Structure 1
Amino acid sequence: MKAFGVAWDAWRTTHGGAGAVAARQPPRLQALVAHARTHSGFYAEHYRGVPDGPVSLAALPSLPAVSKAELMARFDEWVTDPRLTRTGVSAFVADPANIGRDLFGEYVVFTTSGSTAEPALLIQDRRAMAVMFGLTYARSAGVLPPGLLLRVLGRGARQAAVFATGGHFVSTVMFERRLRAHPVRRRYSRFFSVLDPLPELVANLNEFQPVLLGTYASALSVLIGEQEAGRLNIHPLVISSGGELLLPSVRQRAREVFGCTVTETYNASEATPLSLPCRVGNLHLNTDWYLVEPIDASGEVVPAGQRSDSLLLTNLANYVQPLIRYEMGDSVVIGADPCPCGSPLPTVTPEGRTDELLKLPAREGGEVVLIPMAIATVVEETPGVLRYQILQTAPAGLTIRFDEDASSDRSTVWTEVNRRLTGFIAAQGAGPVTIELADQRPEVNSRNGKLRHVVRAIRR
C-alpha cells in the first residue's frame, strides 16, 4: 500500500458521499479482525468467545473492548511481528538518537502521555504510515484558500514547530523523520522546544520568522502574550494548534494579535490523522480508516450531538499492533448535522486536555510563565514515573503526585523528579521554589477517566 493510492482513494471517498465511506468500512474491519485473530496471541485469546467469520459494522460491539493497560501488560502477545518485544522497543525509545529513525528499518515508534494510564509504546507499520500520509495529502488540500497558499509559498513557507522534545512523541518523531529523509528541509523547517526558557524561545522565533507555526494551545496562549507585549515580533500567515483543547477565546485572540488564519487539529498517537479541519473550520473524522464509538460511563454508545464520557477507537490501517475497540478516554461530541463544507465525514468536537499555565515569581522581579506541556514533559520523561500530576499550591510552591512503575524505588524516582524540576524551573528564570512530594497519588476525572497533568490549585 502506497500513500499515493491512499490519497487517491480518500479523494474518491470524500467525493463519493456517505455511501462511499460506508462501503469501505466493512471489508477493512473484517480484514483487520481476521489478521488479529490469526497473528496476535492476545486477540486470539481475547476473541475466544466470539464466533468465527466476518464481523459486520453492526456486530462490532460484540467484540470486547480493550484498554491501554491491558494491551501494554501483554505487549509481546499483542504485536504481530515476533521481533517486536516490549523490552526491545523500550530500549529503542530510551535512546534519544533514535528519534526519527525507523525500528528495524520499517517501523515508526511513538510513545503516548500517561493521561489515562501508563504511557504506551505504539508501533506504526508501512500500511499505517501510508494511510497517515495519504489522508493528510488528500484532505488537507483546499483547507487554505488559494490566495493564502500563494502568499505562504511567496514568503518561503518557513515552518516552525513548537512542541515538547526529549521523547518519541508524534510531533517530534514525524518532524525529525522528515528532516532525516530530506535534509534540505532544515533550511525552512525548524523544531523549537517548549522546554526552552521563554526568552530564548521568543528570540529564536524572532530570528526565524516562521510563515507557518504549529504548537500546543497553552503555548499559543503564552506566545500571544509575548506578541502583545512586543517581545515577540513574528507575522505567521497560518497557526495550527494541537495536542490540547483550543478555547474559542484563545483562537480569536490569536487571530487578532497575529492577524492570521488559525486552525485546530484533533489527533491521537494511536491514529493520526484521526481528524482534519475543513475550509469552514470544523474537524472531520476520517472514518473510512478510523472507526470511533462515543460511549457513556456505562459503555453504551451515545447518539450524535451528545457529549461522550469516553471513546472507543478501531484503527483499520495498523496490522502490526491492532487497535480494535481501544478505549481512549476522550470526551467528544460527534456532529448530528451535515457540515456546510459538504464533506460526508462526520464532524467532531473534542473536550481535549485542559492543563493550566503556571506562574512563578521571577528571580529578577515579575513572573515566569511555565507552559504546561513543557513542565509535564520534564516529569513524564523521568525514568520510573508511570502517572503524575503537578499542582501549584502556593505562589512559589509545587506539589507533585506520581505513581512509579513496579521495578522502581519510589524515593529514588522522587529524587530524580525533584532534581529535574529544580533545574528546569531555574533555567526558566524563576526564583526559589518549594517542591514537595504529596502523600496522595494522581487523581483522574471520575467522569471521563482522564488525568489532568498540570493544575493551578493555589489555596486562598
Structure 2
Amino acid sequence: MKIIRDSYYGSAIYLLFKWAAVKNAENFDRRHIEALQTARLKRLLKHTLTHSNFYKDFYKSHGITLDHIATVNLSDLPIMTKKIMMDNFDSVVCDSRLKRKELEKFVANPINHGKKFQGRFQVVHSSGSSGTLGIFIYGPKDWTTLKALTLSRATKTKINPLRKQKLAFIGVVDGHYAGISLAQAAPPFLFDLLPLDINSPLEKALARLNAFQPDFLGGYASGVGLLAQAQTEGKLDIHPKGIMCSADPLTPRISKAIKQAFGIDPVNLYAASESIGIAAQCSAQHNMHVFDDWHCIEVLDNNLNPTKNGEFGNLVLTNLYNYTQPLIRYQMNDELALDERPCGCKWPFPTIKEIAGREEDFLWFQRADDNLDFIHPVVFVEFMVPGLVGMQVVQTDRNRLLIKAIISGDEKDTITLIRNRMDAILRRKQLDNMVVFDVELVSEIGNDPKTGKYKLIIPLKDKSADSMDGLG
C-alpha cells in the first residue's frame, strides 16, 4: 500500500494537481491564507505527535500532548535547534526506515548522487552557515509539494506539454545539495536539464551553454553573475526567458549585471535545506514574499520575543508540508526583517524587508601564471562526510588552508574521508598541485570575537582578490 501511495505522490498527475492548488492560493485573501496556515499547522502537529517519538517526549516535557492540539498556540511550542534534531535524528523522523548512519553513508557515496534513498526519499544535506551538519529528508508527497511551490511561484513556469523547456543550473552539482536536488527534480516531461559545476573551469560551462541555449537559467547568484559578465564580454551568447538566483546573496550589483547582460530581471529565491521554497520575489514589484500558506515564519529577538516589523531578528521556521521530518519552530541561522508596508502586487503573502547572515567569503588562490582562482563558499557550506560534526576553513596563506574539524566516532577514518573530499574539490578546480591543506581536530570552534557569531570560512586577511571582480 505504501509503495502504491508513494508512487502516486511522486507522479506527474499529482504534481499537476498540487501545482494548480498552489497557483490558486495566490488569489486568496489574507484571512483565507491565515486559516489555511492554522489548519495545516494543526494537521502537522497531530501527525507529528502520532508518529515521532522524539516530539511526543519533547512536547510532553513541556506539558503538551495530542489532547492540546486544538487549543495550543505556535508560541507555546518549544524551540527546535539543528543540534537537538541531529542528536535525536532517528526518533525525530516519522518513518522507521530512516536512520542517520545509513543516510550519512548514502550521501557520502558518489554513486548515489542524483538518487533517492531507498528509491523514494529525497535527501538534502548541509552544514549551512552554522557549521553543524544537517540532514533533511523529504518523502514523495513532501517533495512534490515543494516542486509545485517553486515551479509556480519562483520559476513562474507556464506549462506547455507540446514543447520541453531547456533548464540550465549553475552551482555545486556533485552531491545531495538543495539547489541541484531541486533542479534534477524538474519534471522530465517539461524540462531538459543542463547541470553546470561552478567549481569547474568557466570556459567549459560557457561552451556547453552556447551549445545548449537554455530557455531558463538558474543557480547560485554569484554563478549567474559570472555568466552575466561573460555575456557582456561576448564570451557567452544565450537568451534565457527566465532567470532565478538562490543560495548566496543576490546583491544589487549582481542583479544589475544580470539585467544588463540578459535583458531581464532575475527572480531571487529564498531557499534553505530545511525548505527550498521559503520565499521569492513577485513579478510586479520585485519584493520578497514569504509563502506562509506552507510555512510559519517567526522573527524573534535573543529572548525569543517577536521583533517589531522592520527590525532584524532570528528566523524560526515551521515547515508545514514536510511530514517525514517535521521541523516545528526550528531555529535557523538567518537573520531577517519583515516589511509592514503593503507590496502593491496581487500576492496575499507578507514581504521580507531584508535578509542578513547568509554571506560567506570566497577563497582566492594564486595559480602558476599568477592569475587568481576561487573556491565558491557553498562548497564548504555543503561539505559533508560521515563522522564530521562541525568544521571551519581557515586560509593561513595564499595557497594553504587549515580545516578545523569536530569529529564523532573513528577519528582516523573520518580524517581520511575529509582529506579525500578536499582532494576531490581541489582536483575539480585544477588546484590540486597548487593548494595544500592541513586537518586539525578540535573540540569546539569559537565565534568571531568582532561579531560574536560563528564563521565557517576565514579568508586570508590580506586579500588581493576583492569580491568577485566587481560583482560582489
Match of 1:311 among 302, 308, 315: 315
Kindly indicate whether residue 60 of structure 2 is the aligned counterpart of residue 40 of structure 1: no
Deviations 1:173-227 (A, max 9, x none): 2333447x65x94xx3211112212332333223323232112122234334444
Q: Distance in 1 between matches of 2:139 and 2:441?
A: 42
Deviations 1:73-116 (A, max 9, x none): 11111112222222232333233333343334432222123422
Describe the shift of the 1:13–1:454 C-alpha distance in structure 2 as closer, same or farther (beyond 3 A): same
What residue in structure 2 maps to residue 332 of structure 1?
336
What residue in structure 1 maps to residue 457 of structure 2?
454
Describe the shift of the 1:224–1:371 C-alpha distance in structure 2 as closer, same or farther (beyond 3 A): farther
Kindly indicate whether residue 163 of structure 2 is the aligned counterpart of residue 167 of structure 1: no
Q: 8 Å contact 2:229–2:261 — kept in the other structure?
A: no
Mapping 1:303-382, distance limit 5 Å:
303-308=308-313, 310-348=314-352, 349-374=354-379, 377=382, 380-382=383-385
SS of the counterpart of 1:323?
A: coil
Mapping 1:236-247, distance limit 5 Å:
236-247=240-251
SS of the counterpart of 2:133?
A: coil
What residue in structure 2 maps to residue 99 of structure 1?
113
Q: Distance in 1 between matches of 2:252 and 2:227?
A: 16
The Cα shift of 1:240 comes to: 1.5
283-292 vs 90-99, which deviates more? 90-99
The Cα shift of 1:326 comes to: 0.7
Q: 8 Å contact 1:3–1:134 — kept in the other structure?
A: yes
Kindly indicate whether residue 103 of structure 2 is the aligned counterpart of residue 89 of structure 1: yes
SS of the counterpart of 2:329?
A: strand
Q: Distance in 2 between matches of 1:448 and 1:286?
A: 31
Q: Distance in 1 between matches of 2:335 and 2:423?
A: 34
Letter of the aligned partner of 2:309 in structure 1? A
Describe the shift of the 1:15–1:161 C-alpha distance in structure 2 as closer, same or farther (beyond 3 A): same
Letter of the aligned partner of 2:331 in structure 1? E
The Cα shift of 1:446 comes to: 7.8
The Cα shift of 1:128 comes to: 1.6
Q: 8 Å contact 2:15–2:144 — kept in the other structure?
A: yes
Q: Distance in 2 between matches of 1:237 and 1:138?
A: 15
The Cα shift of 1:368 comes to: 2.1
Q: Distance in 2 between matches of 1:399 and 1:57?
A: 53
Q: 8 Å contact 1:162–1:193 — kept in the other structure?
A: yes
SS of the counterpart of 1:65?
A: coil
Deviations 1:6-64 (A, max 9, x none): 44443443322101111112222112112212221101111113244344697211111
Identity among equivalent positions (%) equals: 26
The Cα shift of 1:290 comes to: 0.6
Q: Distance in 1 between matches of 2:150 and 2:306?
A: 28
Q: Distance in 2 between matches of 1:446 and 1:25?
A: 40
195-204 vs 222-231, which deviates more? 222-231
The Cα shift of 1:67 comes to: 0.8
Letter of the aligned partner of 1:328 in structure 2? M
The Cα shift of 1:160 comes to: 0.7
Q: Distance in 2 between matches of 1:103 and 1:320?
A: 13
Describe the shift of the 1:11–1:118 C-alpha distance in structure 2 as closer, same or farther (beyond 3 A): same
Describe the shift of the 1:419–1:83 C-alpha distance in structure 2 as closer, same or farther (beyond 3 A): closer
Letter of the aligned partner of 1:290 in structure 2? H
Specify every segment of 5 or more residues in structure 1 that has no aligned partner in the other structure, as ranges. Answer: none
SS of the counterpart of 2:129?
A: coil
TM-score (norm 2): 0.83
Q: 8 Å contact 1:14–1:21 — kept in the other structure?
A: no
Q: 8 Å contact 2:282–2:345 — kept in the other structure?
A: yes
What residue in structure 2 maps to residue 217 of structure 1?
221
Q: 8 Å contact 1:164–1:195 — kept in the other structure?
A: yes
The Cα shift of 1:246 comes to: 1.1
Q: Distance in 1 between matches of 2:144 and 2:413?
A: 42
Q: Distance in 2 between matches of 1:105 and 1:424?
A: 27
Q: 8 Å contact 2:79–2:331 — kept in the other structure?
A: yes
SS of the counterpart of 1:261?
A: coil
Kindly indicate whether residue 440 of structure 2 is the aligned counterpart of residue 428 of structure 1: no
Letter of the aligned partner of 1:388 in structure 2? M
What residue in structure 2 maps to residue 292 of structure 1?
297
Q: 8 Å contact 1:14–1:20 — kept in the other structure?
A: no
Describe the shift of the 1:69–1:449 C-alpha distance in structure 2 as closer, same or farther (beyond 3 A): farther
Describe the shift of the 1:352–1:236 C-alpha distance in structure 2 as closer, same or farther (beyond 3 A): farther
The Cα shift of 1:382 comes to: 4.5
Match of 1:391 among 390, 394, 412: 394
Specify every segment of 5 or more residues in structure 2 that has no aligned partner in the other structure, as ranges. Answer: 1-8, 464-472
TM-score (norm 1): 0.85
What is the CA RMSD across the aligned residues, in angstroms? 3.3
Aligned residues: 444
Q: 8 Å contact 1:254–1:262 — kept in the other structure?
A: yes
What residue in structure 1 maps to residue 469 of structure 2?
none
Deviations 1:147-182 (A, max 9, x none): xx99xx99x742110111222112222333447x65
Q: Distance in 1 between matches of 2:97 and 2:256?
A: 49
